[in-house]
Chain A
Amino acid sequence: MKTPPGAAGPQVDYRHPWVVRLWHWANAGAVVVLLMTGLLLFDIHPRLYWGDDGHAGMPAFLAVDAMDVTSATPRFSLQLGGHHWDVTGIIGTIVDEGDSGKYVLIANPPDDWQFGATRGWHFMFAWLLGLSLPAYALYLLVSGRLRDRLLPTRAELSARSIGHELSQHLRMRRARGEASRHYNILQKASYLSVIGVLIPLAILSGFTMSNAMTAVFPGLIALFGGHQSARSVHFMVAMLLGLFLLVHVFQVLVSGFTNLMRSMITGRFVVEPEELP
């Protein structure tokens, strides 16, 4: 860290208490594992439907399909709504599971892939995600961190302020000085969406895919509109979480990687001096 000549040294904020750091890294790991195992699970039936009933031969709103599964050189299509694209050579492969039939996959899994175990791993990390979320939400509320750091202020919600933040973002100008000590409105909105909307939706739509869970909580079926609807929501939420992950990592890389990583590991964030006009 460069210290401006004559200054008393950089100001260091204790930005992230240990609860925040622990939750962040545990869930970062969980989300990565859940996305990977989730994609492997999706791979064996890459079709999405609405309602309760959904299987091969039924109309899907998103599907990777082979035009002829038995052909030696099958052609693959990607269907989204009423649109079809020939994606042969880009995605699509066929795996022969003997008695269990032939499956159209998006991509070949590793040779030693165990499908059943993948589901077990997915559930294990889902527990980590699902159990730590309510605990963390309670912490955010009780500690005042939700109000102090995450909820937008009235001033931040003005069109002018949002416009300013957007333009700073698009020009890749990072905050320095006092402004860097707080999350900006775009950070607040994305963190709140992940904690308050995406992860809860992922958990609830996951529960809805279980006959046992919907026996205990019949409201889940009403909420999502059926098993397959819940599966589709689960998939879309996963894609949004994946998108968040990519953008989040990109932002850390371009906005002072060392400082941001240090703050999420040790808690200490160095406030960079304002740029001289």
Chain B
Amino acid sequence: MNDRISRRALLGGLAATGGLLAGCSRFDDKAPFRQLLAASDGFTLHVQRMLLANRPLVRELSLAELSKAFPMNGTTLPKGDYYKRLLDGDFRDWKLRVHGLVDRPLALSLAQLQSLPSRTQITMHACDEGWTAVGQWTGVPLAQVLSASGLRPGARYIVFHCLDKMELDGNYYYESLDLVDALHPQTILAYGMNGKPLPTGYGAPLRLRVETQIGYKNAKYVDRIEVVDRLTSFGKGRGGWWEDFDNAVWYAGQ
């Protein structure tokens, strides 16, 4: 995703779509409409980056405000033998791999991740569908893992490869963040929820919590973290499963 807004694309596109009735999604896959969506999303990114320059923390709530039944959405149990084996072994055989544009590729077991300094936060998850829920998340700040691996020059995006294959198109779920969101102090790789080990339905063994962002950016079942300079080599090159499948916006304006 090119996060540099193209002024020409924006102005030209706005003129071209003067009469466009959105929701006519057959347009969404075609130029210049997709570029126009990307330009608008890029504009949102730049404005929010300006507003969030001081890196304020997202609101944290109290234990009393925890949702009694946090909805379990998206994949609730990844299919296939591989995940079943991992689950049966309580993820003892699983390791989080960190690779790509890093100085030191890592393979961290759940126990190793849990031994790193942790952060616990009670935050409100906002799904783009419109519902919200409050959960308590415990995990290791992503910034910590990335500082352990080191970032090589040219590193711009962090890609999260997941264990769940999506029924709708047969592709594995993935998401990506730029370094600003990735290094935010509340962006954590969570292995605990509401004081207990992260349940399967919510993304065990490890899920991303990126509190400055909308729901679908919070990838569940994170298996592998890849540091890259561009997002074009994954899926349709839009930076995430929903972005590829549904033209969801990458920065997501949350």
A residues whose Cβ falls under 8 Å from a Cβ of B: 29, 32-33, 36-37, 40-42, 44-45, 47, 52-57, 97-101, 103, 109-110, 112-125, 127-128, 209-216, 218, 221, 227-228, 231
Contact = CB atoms under 8 A, between A and B. Distances in A.
B254 interface: yes
Interface string B22-43: 1111101000000011001101
A209 B192 CA distance: 26
Contacts of A209: 126
Contacts of A33: 20-22
Contact of A32 (B21, B26, B132): B21
A44 B76 CA distance: 19
B52 A127 contact: no
Contacts of A100: 73-74, 168
B146 interface: no
Nearest to B26: A112
B196 interface: no
Contacts of B11: none
A119 B248 contact: yes
Among B18, B58, B129, B243, the most chain A Cβ lie within 10 Å of the Cβ of: B129
Interface residues of B, number: 63
A114 B167 CA distance: 16
Nearest to B77: A99
B41 to A, nearest CB: 6
Contact of A56 (B43, B58, B71, B253): B71
B73 to A, nearest CB: 6
B134 interface: yes
A114 to B, nearest CB: 4
B120 interface: no
Contact of A36 (B22, B61, B132): B22
The prevalent SS among residues of A at the interface is helix
Interface of B: 14, 18-26, 28, 36-37, 40-41, 43-44, 48, 51-52, 56-59, 61, 65, 67, 69-71, 73-76, 123-124, 126-134, 164, 166-168, 211-213, 216, 242-243, 245-249, 252-254
B58 A215 contact: yes
Contact of B254 (A55, A103, A211): A211
A152 B220 CA distance: 57
Contact of B243 (A115, A116, A212, A213): A116
A213 B48 CA distance: 8
Contact of A55 (B61, B71, B74, B167): B71
A157 B216 CA distance: 51
Contact of A112 (B25, B126, B213, B249): B25
A116 B254 contact: no
Given A116-B246, A227-B126, A55 B131 contact: yes
A134 to B, nearest CB: 14
Closest 5 CB pairs of A and B: A116-B248, A121-B22, A117-B247, A116-B246, A45-B130
A54 B132 contact: yes
Given A116-B245, A124-B22, 5 more contacts: A32-B21, A53-B134, A99-B164, A114-B28, A211-B58
A42 to B, nearest CB: 7
A211 B21 contact: no
A41 to B, nearest CB: 7
Contacts of A45: 127, 129-131
Contacts of A118: 22-23, 25
A110 B23 CA distance: 8
B128 A110 contact: no
Contacts of B40: 120, 123-124, 127
15 contacts: A56-B71, A98-B168, A99-B167, A100-B74, A110-B25, A116-B242, A117-B248, A119-B248, A120-B247, A125-B22, A211-B124, A211-B212, A212-B213, A215-B52, A215-B57
